[in-house]
Amino acid sequence: MNIKKFSNEQLAGQRLMVGFDGTKLTKDLTVLIDTLKVGGVILFSNNVSSPEQIKQLCVSIQEYAGSCGQPPLFIAVDQEGGEVARLKDPFTEFPGNPSMHHIKDAEKFATVTAKELSDVGINMNMAPVMDVVPEGAESIMAGRVFGSDPAFVSKMGACVIKHLQQNGIIAVAKHFPGIGRTTLDSHLELPILTAERSELESFDYLPFSAAVKEGVLGIMLSHILYSKIDLEWPASLSVHVAKYLLRDHFGFKGLVITDDLDMGAITKNFNFNSVIHQILLADIDIALICHKGPNIKAAFKKVLDYIEESDEMKDKCKASVERIMEVKTKPHLI
């Protein structure tokens, strides 16, 4: 689809990936697609009951989008294995990243997971976790990382990315620029990381550099405030992190995605209109809003307002939607 023909509403909606209630194409879900024109949805445990049901849900979503003249949707899930796996038996239940010790473990996880996701119509996995937990640290991420050696995390994560994407699933490396050092849970509070840039460069950044080199199609930003990079905004809202560091320094040209904007790190600390403004300023492509509620409609309206009021913001939005559509038009992915 040629984005020159996109309406302002389509430009705004493509920037949103949202959660919803239910296991089938409900009225609420059709409104998200035909009125708010969302670019993607994310599935959670309450949206799934069986492979057959998931496939029917995904097919109905894509067919309805097509009937409305909308591009195909990203249909995402968190399927890391271990602690974070939305799809259970009869899907293969892997023990998670800490249990992977050899490159063949990563290859098997990615290959099997990609096939199972593709078979039911899911096209994006919010994985792999590329965070590194320092040896002995009491990190909130201890049960979800490949380990404490950046080189090992880089190798394992790059393997997962390669085999997910070779088998038709968009990989999303997370949580840039690294949350392995944090102890607070950003679902509840805003963690502040005071590590020096030199520490981050020699440790936390390395797996994300490997992910970019591997050609990862998506990178998720963390809800962590890195005080030596940006004193005001967490990574998920920061021009310094998303634009200057990830886009300009790392050279990443793919999709930049926020973590869930419904998390306490954001809702307890920032005005929602300011949140959307920062996302647009920072060249972040997709605002992730995982729960049904007023924030989805508010985000759509705010993005639309900025598009209609500012040529600069409209141009930024077009650039983001071009990146989104570049991924959506890769024939083996969607």
Would residue 248 show up in a list of annotated catalytic residues for this protein?
no
Q: Tell which phi-psi region holds residue 7, choosing left (phi > 0), alpha (psi between -120 and 50) or beta.
A: beta
Report the alpha-carbon distance of residue 182 to residue 49 in Å, rounded. Answer: 34
Nearest to 120 by CA among 211, 77, 188, 56: 56
The burial class, CB within 10 Å (0-12 / 13-18 / 19+), for 188 is exposed
Reduce the DSSP state of residue 202 to 3 states and report it: helix
Q: Which of helix, strand or coil describes residue 226?
A: strand
| 291 flagged as catalytic | no
- Quick count: other Cβ atoms within 10 Å of Cβ 181? 22
- Strands 84-85 and 79-81 turn out to be antiparallel
Check residue 292 and report its DSSP letter: S
130-152 burial, b at 16+ Cβ within 10 Å, e below that, comes to bbbbeeeeebbbeebbbbbebeb
Residue positions counted in the chain: 334
- Catalytic: which of 101, 102, 187, 249? 187
Amino acid at 151: A
- Kind and range of the H or E element at 11? helix 8-13
Looking at 204, 230, 259, 283, which residue is catalytic?
259
Please state whether beta strands 192-193 and 79-81 pair in parallel, antiparallel, or not at all (unpaired). unpaired
Tell the residue number behind the tokens 């293969």, with chain if given.
92
Distance of alpha carbon 16 from alpha carbon 315, whole angstroms: 17
Give me the active site residues, please: 187, 259
